[in-house]
């Protein structure tokens, strides 16, 4: 069996397709506009274009930028990016998809619509996962090339950064939502209890 058809590559592709599928379903149903398509495509195209520029000629060389705090070096990542242990990845993906499906049903009943922040975050995830998926299908591994810090043990790519940004945006949106819910509850209690207004 070739590396491109190995079980780790197959499970990586299956996991990525499942997550991209369920996140795209969310966007199709709950997004307020179609700008998410442009965001996802932009992330995927930038990721693949940057990898095409870095992969052929860089080899084992490093390009040091920003006084050594950013280094560009070509790396083949066989483990992260939907890689690693087959059963655990598929099990984790199945749990995530099941949770998202359960949430999807509840959001449908509540007539939920995504905020621009949530829409952008999910679109970034779709684009990032698509970039990783393309690497796995084409190469069997993920191309990384961005190393941050002078002694970093990790190398990233644009898809990774898009996913990290998406998680940060979703956390920010969750905090914003909880704050708004707390304010609504406080104002309701204020009216019911009849506290004097200052």
Residue 75: its pLDDT value, please?
86
Contacts with 138 (C-beta within 8 Å, 6 or more apart), sequence order: none
Are the C-beta atoms of 8 and 86 separated by less than 8 Å? yes
Confidence of residue 151 (pLDDT cuts 50, 70, 90): low
Residue 8: its pLDDT value, please?
74
Q: Which pair of structure tokens corresponds to residue 178?
A: 């909880």
d(CA 88, CA 67): 39
The whole model's pTM is what? 0.81
d(CA 166, CA 170): 6
Is pLDDT above 70 for 3? no
Residue with more model confidence, 2 or 145: 145
Average pLDDT for the chain: 83
51 three-class SS: helix
Is pLDDT above 60 for 138? yes
């Amino acid at each position: 069996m070739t590396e491109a058809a190995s079980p780790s590559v197959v499970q990586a592709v299956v996991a990525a397709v499942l997550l991209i599928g369920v996140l795209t379903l969310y966007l199709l149903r709950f997004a307020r506009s179609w700008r998410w398509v442009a965001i996802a495509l932009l992330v995927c195209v930038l990721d693949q274009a940057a990898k095409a520029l870095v992969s052929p000629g860089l080899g084992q060389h490093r390009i040091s930028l920003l006084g050594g705090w950013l280094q560009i070096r070509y790396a083949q990542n066989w483990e992260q990016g939907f890689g690693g242990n087959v059963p655990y990845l598929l099990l984790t993906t199945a749990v995530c998809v099941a949770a998202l499906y359960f949430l999807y049903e509840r959001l449908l009943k509540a007539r939920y619509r995504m905020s621009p922040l949530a829409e952008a975050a999910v679109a970034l995830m779709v684009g990032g996962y698509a970039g990783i998926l393309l690497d796995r299908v084409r190469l069997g591994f993920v191309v990384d090339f961005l190393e941050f810090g002078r002694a970093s043990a990790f190398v990233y790519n644009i898809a990774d950064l898009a996913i990290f940004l998406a998680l940060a945006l979703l956390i920010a949106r969750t905090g914003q939502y909880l704050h708004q819910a707390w304010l609504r509850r406080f104002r309701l209690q204020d009216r019911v209890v009849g506290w004097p207004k200052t």
